[in-house]
Amino acid sequence: MNQLPNLLDFTQEEIEELIFSLGKEKYRARQIMKCLYQSGHHSFAQMTTLSREFRGRLAEISRIARPEVVQIQESKDGTKKALLRLEDGLYIESVLIPGKNNWTICISTQAGCAMNCSFCLTARQGFKRNLRPAEITGQILALREKTSQELEIKNIVMMGMGEPLANYENTLKAIKNLTCDFGLGFSNRKVTVSTCGLAPQIVRLGSDICINLAVSLNAPDNEVRSALMPVNKKYPLEELLAACKKYPMPGRRLLTFEYILIAGVNSSVRDAEKLAVLLKDQRCKLNLIVFNEFPGSPFKSPSPEDVEAFQQVLIKKHYTTVIRASKGGDILAACGQLSGTMKS
């Protein structure tokens, strides 16, 4: 594997430092960023806005590499799941979710996951390693190229494989390149990080950058949450919710709590009532997600009637509560179903 540094791992400021060391003007970093992210160049030869001599020097000290799309599956509802190969041979998955006129892309931040949530298929793969910034943003670059004749990618959710805040530095770098004017240029409002609840990192993220935050809650009390999500033993609900209250949500923006409804575990009317009390001091909205079954899972989805009853309790308590439509279940592309394995 090529050991030269990957330019897609660099922020604009880091590229400025690199080229300044070569005796070049710092504004050239903006040109390089535009080539990498806006034009989608994946070789120095394509960067014709730079002199041949400068391109040659860059090629001597750096490289451009991103994940390779090796398989795309399409669901009957239009969702697309992509399997991507990393340079060391590991595989990750990304999902393109169709909207009315655009895609939402769900990207991964780790190969595998160490959080071991009992309802998640990714957890069964174990943790392999953190993704580099290039491997995070590279999912978007690679899939944008593959779908350039279709819808435009308008929203980014870091809800794929892995826990983004357990890969904090690389996730933050990737977000900076996603939202940089000379990078992919996404508005902060169009980028969402989803976390299982790493309380200290939530506070840190709020001080480092302002983007949307979604917290995977999934239980109205510590006993049930600890059984579903081992992270709760380290950061119980009291600590998690205190961190959430510190997270800055400017204007009318609300923090999102995601709640996976599992039959006989956390989906009763009583659970909804306890949840309403638990969140009474939070500026939030709730996304209810019906559990997506997968082969070998010990859990089942609740009935539509139970889901409706759960939602109505929260609505009557004046919570903005949405039942999130599950997409891509037939190709194991829905929430909690990603595994990074090739379909034979």
Domain that holds residue 13: 7-61
Give the model's pLDDT for residue 48: 95
How many residues in total does the chain contain?
A: 344
Domain boundary among 18, 36, 61: 61
For residues 81 and 141, membership in a common domain is answered with: yes
Give the model's pLDDT for residue 335: 65
For residues 213 and 253, membership in a common domain is answered with: yes
Give the model's pLDDT for residue 293: 83
For residues 14 and 105, membership in a common domain is answered with: no
Please report, for residues 74, 94, 101, 182, 300, the alpha-carbon distance to residue 83 in angstroms, rounded to integers and kept in the order given: 12, 7, 24, 28, 27
Q: How far apart are CA 2 and CA 32, in angstroms?
A: 20
**Is position 108 within any domain?**
yes
What CATH number does residue 190 fall under? 3.20.20.70
**Is position 303 within any domain?**
yes
Active-site annotation, residues: 93, 335
Q: How far apart are CA 4 and CA 331, in angstroms?
A: 37
**Is position 290 within any domain?**
yes
**Is position 308 within any domain?**
yes
Q: How far apart are CA 36 and CA 42, in angstroms?
A: 7
For residues 54 and 75, membership in a common domain is answered with: no
Give the model's pLDDT for residue 40: 94
For residues 28 and 77, membership in a common domain is answered with: no
**How many CA atoms lie less than 13 Å away from 172 in the CB half-sphere?**
14
**Is position 111 within any domain?**
yes
274, 233 contact by CB (below 8 A): no
Per the structure, the count of domains in the chain is: 2
Q: 287-313: per-residue pLDDT in tens?
A: 999 998 888 888 999 999 999 999 999
Number of neighbouring beta carbons within 10 Å of residue 220: 22
Q: How far apart are CA 295 and CA 301, in angstroms?
A: 13
Give the model's pLDDT for residue 17: 95
**Is position 1 within any domain?**
no
What CATH number does residue 56 fall under? 1.10.150.530
Domain boundary among 19, 41, 61: 61
Q: 151-181: per-residue pLDDT in tens?
A: 899 999 999 999 999 999 999 999 999 999 9
For residues 275 and 146, membership in a common domain is answered with: yes
For residues 43 and 82, membership in a common domain is answered with: no
Token pair 């209810």 is at which residue?
288
Q: 330-344: per-residue pLDDT in tens?
A: 766 556 656 666 665
**Is position 223 within any domain?**
yes
**Is position 173 within any domain?**
yes
For residues 106 and 54, membership in a common domain is answered with: no
**How many CA atoms lie less than 13 Å away from 78 in the CB half-sphere?**
12
Domain boundary among 61, 80, 104: 61
For residues 286 and 142, membership in a common domain is answered with: yes
For residues 288 and 168, membership in a common domain is answered with: yes
For residues 165 and 195, membership in a common domain is answered with: yes
Query: pLDDT tens track of the chain, all 344 residues?
Result: 678 999 999 999 999 999 999 899 999 999 999 999 999 999 999 999 999 999 999 999 999 999 999 999 999 988 999 999 999 999 999 999 998 889 999 999 999 999 999 998 888 888 999 999 999 999 999 999 888 777 899 999 999 999 999 999 999 999 999 999 999 999 999 999 999 999 999 999 999 999 999 999 999 999 999 999 999 999 999 999 999 999 998 888 999 999 999 999 999 999 999 999 999 999 999 999 999 888 888 899 999 999 999 999 999 999 999 998 777 667 665 566 566 666 65
For residues 20 and 122, membership in a common domain is answered with: no
Give the model's pLDDT for residue 123: 80
